[in-house]
């Protein structure tokens, strides 16, 4: 994957990865731009190039245009080339961050066969997180120990310099998705 980033435009790789990560999903132009962190004009040019090359298809629903991964030999080959195997910690982050009440994930420490994380949010599904930790342990022989704390506890701990929680944050809910 890193070799390809050296050979090809990183922006194109980022946009293609969005589609490869969720091939059934349809994305709007602004959604792709936000997820890839590529400006809208460049995203539009890249999408048009990918449509011409038959990697992406454009679908018009009413007055809205959405984009989806094409299912053909080209995209299957591209998926084999670009798809990376997620680490157990990445699997944990991807699954836990899907829950709407999770605001932040902090990596306290990491060893070759285990990690200790803090999950910040109110009324978290600790049973589901525990089951995910067990699944990761069985499938990847990697232990994840987690502690859940409320947003108020996080704000209080953040003031202690010895904890340095901001720098240990490995995932944070985007500000645009936080509802007051």
Per-residue pLDDT tens over the stretch 55-92: 999 999 888 999 998 888 888 787 777 766 678 988 99
Domain assignments of the chain as residue spans, ordered by start: 2-82, 88-177
**pTM reported for the whole predicted model:** 0.53
pLDDT of amino acid 116: 94
Choose the CATH number for 2-82 among 3.40.50.800, 1.10.10.10, 3.90.1300.10, 1.10.540.10: 1.10.10.10
**HSE-up of residue 49 (Cα within 13 Å, Cβ side):** 12
Q: What is the mean pLDDT of residues 13-40?
A: 89
Average pLDDT of the chain, as a whole number = 86
pLDDT of amino acid 180: 46
Choose the CATH number for 88-177 among 1.10.3470, 3.30.460, 3.40.50, 3.30.70: 3.30.460
Per-residue pLDDT tens over the stretch 129-142: 999 999 999 998 99
Per-residue pLDDT tens over the stretch 136-162: 999 989 999 999 999 999 988 887 766
Q: Name which residue leads in pLDDT, 167 or 129.
A: 129
- Short-list 97, 86, 84, 87, CA closest to 170: 97
Number of residues that make up the chain: 180
| Confidence label for 176 from pLDDT (cuts 50, 70 and 90) | low
pLDDT of amino acid 92: 94
Contacts of 32 by beta carbon, 8 Å cutoff, 6+ apart? 15, 18, 38, 43, 47, 67
């Amino acid at each position: 994957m890193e070799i390809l980033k050296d050979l090809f435009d990183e922006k194109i790789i980022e946009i293609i990865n969005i589609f490869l990560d969720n091939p059934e999903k349809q994305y709007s132009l602004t959604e792709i731009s936000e997820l890839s962190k590529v400006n809208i004009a460049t995203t539009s040019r890249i999408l048009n190039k990918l449509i011409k090359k038959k990697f992406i298809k454009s679908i018009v629903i009413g007055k809205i245009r959405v984009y989806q991964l094409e299912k053909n030999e080209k995209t299957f080959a591209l998926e084999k080339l670009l798809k990376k195997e997620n680490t157990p910690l990445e699997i944990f982050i991807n699954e836990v961050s899907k829950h709407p009440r999770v605001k932040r994930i902090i990596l306290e420490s990491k060893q070759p066969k285990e990690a200790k994380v803090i999950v910040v949010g109110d009324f978290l599904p600790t049973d589901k997180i525990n089951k995910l930790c067990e699944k990761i342990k069985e499938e990847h022989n990697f232990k994840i120990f987690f502690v859940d704390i409320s947003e108020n506890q996080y704000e209080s701990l953040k003031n202690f310099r010895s904890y340095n929680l901001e720098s240990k944050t490995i995932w944070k809910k985007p500000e645009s998705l936080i509802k007051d």
